[in-house]
Structure 1
């Protein structure tokens, strides 16, 4: 991977990746019924249209050892490449005929939804993707008995000039917390033993961390299982340390939420916090908007307010990035989507 400074190509990418060059939004998500990857485009950041008419663009059984993926995250690296990180897990694989047991390993020893892999994908154009499975349990001897590796995300650490991968992990059937590691330059393997990113002050699980850099601060939203499941925030001056516990709940939902993610509105001093409201039926996304990461305006759920999903329902675990007009047009053309960019 190219460094942020140095080559002319890297400098060119910085210019292209400036917010002034962005014109649209790309959401990735999955669905429980297929365990496949979906994409949705938006012109304004409020209304999203699935590119493949609510059908997977990539089937989970074509890329994952467990024949299903969950929790997709999309990341634009400084070298101009796009990366996807996904949980290698099918929670209904026995019913779907992919295995003879409920889980890959004994549920009493390794817990609910036990898995050991992360699917890493790479693309130059958002259309053609290579993929591999990163077996977390095989990366270091110390990780041989992990109980899960869920909800991976990626962020560039400018101080180290390396991509940091962070994900929810537990040992055996213990409580989950978020760990971080640094990837090789081609983002294909872990180079450092994962370490806890943040220590929750109580003996409870927390998962699904999402880090957003705003100025010189890093805002980490995560799902805390502190009596209920909801969204909390911790802030630090460093991407991998120093996060301060904040007891406040940041989602307005009475039902259980998880999978927080944040995206910035193009050209505005506004950020949108999305959360997966998984304890309602049918499940849905909720949205809140902020300019200061202290005060949040509740925008409601998809299709119950200003936020719209035009041709899809019951999405799970989203991530959103800004993309250029050229990138949006390429996706629309590939999927024969009638949207003008």
Structure 2
């Protein structure tokens, strides 16, 4: 379904481009914001982008405190600057059925457009006054979280976005009484030719697995019945294609695990050892490539740390990994933010970096 008209209250304004999301502001200069639009127009020159076109990096992440998502940019892939000074870019209270978003993932499709997928869940919804119970349904039956919706958004310019809340259980009643739908991510399937959304579904407060479904071109709904990735019991999947191989990182027993296949859904072979170097619980793996190299960065959420943080490792062969340390404690740093949660990184062209920096008035050297 599209952005509900009931969201058009005091914290939204309407412009020629659609609905602009922002908090109520005192009088003064109008702040930069994203715009939710009913339809997206494909810009001239849009289309496939190669690695040679890319000149920097975009990180999306969220915070428990706000249940909202944030954007940060980087020229070198090591030092990131939050575009909104540490304030939310995607307000969970305006975008989600539960008034909170978590686990944001962003990627670029072969058409050149960005897809953003997020969990629709507010874990402090009762405290925030959004519901009268700890969870939407009894924890003794459905466990922690027990949300059933995901948020899908698409953009060509990272400013104007389409928006859809997808209730997985009502879209596919044949799935039965699911506990949750968590941590959606998106990858292009070159065989099918569509963008595939994959996410966690849990049943019976115990049985969690990764499921896949194809999204429509507008990225507003799932148009195929979710099917389980066989042989992989776990959550928080991240699929990266390198050559003719698909590398799947996921979470089992609060540890980062790894499997590889020649098929995007089938025949994954898992290795037995833990991949991340941590001794505390971890989740939310995401892999991105260092531009101009054969090096891949594995990013993961060290949620068991006190305080929590993101950890990083590098690999060239997906067999050996070099530990880079945690965010702001090693080579990976933020200039104006710290301890991002459950994030993802994709690449930007130099023009896109400059456009994003200009829109949010970010002081960053892009030469």
With normalisation by structure 1, the TM-score equals 0.92
Moved over 3 A (4+): 9-12
| Aligned pair partner of 2:47 in 5, 10, 13 | 13
Distance 2:228 2:175 in 1: 13
CA contact (8 A) 1:10 1:78 kept: no
Give the Å deviation of 1:252: 0.4
| Aligned pair partner of 1:310 in 314, 332, 335 | 335
Give the Å deviation of 1:319: 0.3
CA offset digits 1:297-317 (Å, max 9, x no partner) = 101111111111221123110
Give the Å deviation of 1:11: 9.9
Distance 2:44 2:354 in 1: 24
Q: Secondary structure of 2:88's partner?
A: coil
| Aligned pair partner of 1:43 in 58, 75, 88 | 75
Distance 1:10 1:165 in 2: 27
Distance 1:217 1:10 in 2: 33
Distance 1:12 1:132 in 2: 22
Give the Å deviation of 1:22: 0.3
CA contact (8 A) 1:329 1:340 kept: no
CA offset digits 1:257-290 (Å, max 9, x no partner) = 1000000000011000001000012110100001
Distance 1:11 1:97 in 2: 46
Residue equivalent to 1:74: 106
Say yes or no: does 1:186 pair with 2:218.
yes
| Aligned pair partner of 1:251 in 267, 272, 276 | 276
Residue equivalent to 1:165: 197
Q: Secondary structure of 1:28's partner?
A: strand
CA contact (8 A) 1:28 1:74 kept: yes
Distance 2:127 2:156 in 1: 36
Residue equivalent to 2:31: none
Residue equivalent to 2:236: 208
Give the Å deviation of 1:186: 2.1
Say yes or no: does 1:319 pair with 2:358.
no
Give the Å deviation of 1:143: 2.4
Residue equivalent to 1:265: 290
CA offset digits 1:230-263 (Å, max 9, x no partner) = 1010000011111012111110011111000000
CA contact (8 A) 2:197 2:213 kept: yes
Residue equivalent to 2:16: none
Q: What RMSD over aligned residues (CA atoms) do the two structures have, in Å?
A: 1.5
Give the Å deviation of 1:137: 0.6
CA contact (8 A) 2:213 2:226 kept: yes
Give the Å deviation of 1:46: 0.6
CA contact (8 A) 2:164 2:221 kept: no
Residue equivalent to 1:231: 256
Say yes or no: does 1:221 pair with 2:246.
no
Give the Å deviation of 1:10: 11
CA contact (8 A) 1:168 1:176 kept: yes
Distance 1:38 1:186 in 2: 23
Give the Å deviation of 1:173: 2.0
Distance 1:195 1:309 in 2: 38
Change (3 A) 1:169 1:11: same
| Aligned pair partner of 2:133 in 101, 107, 118 | 101
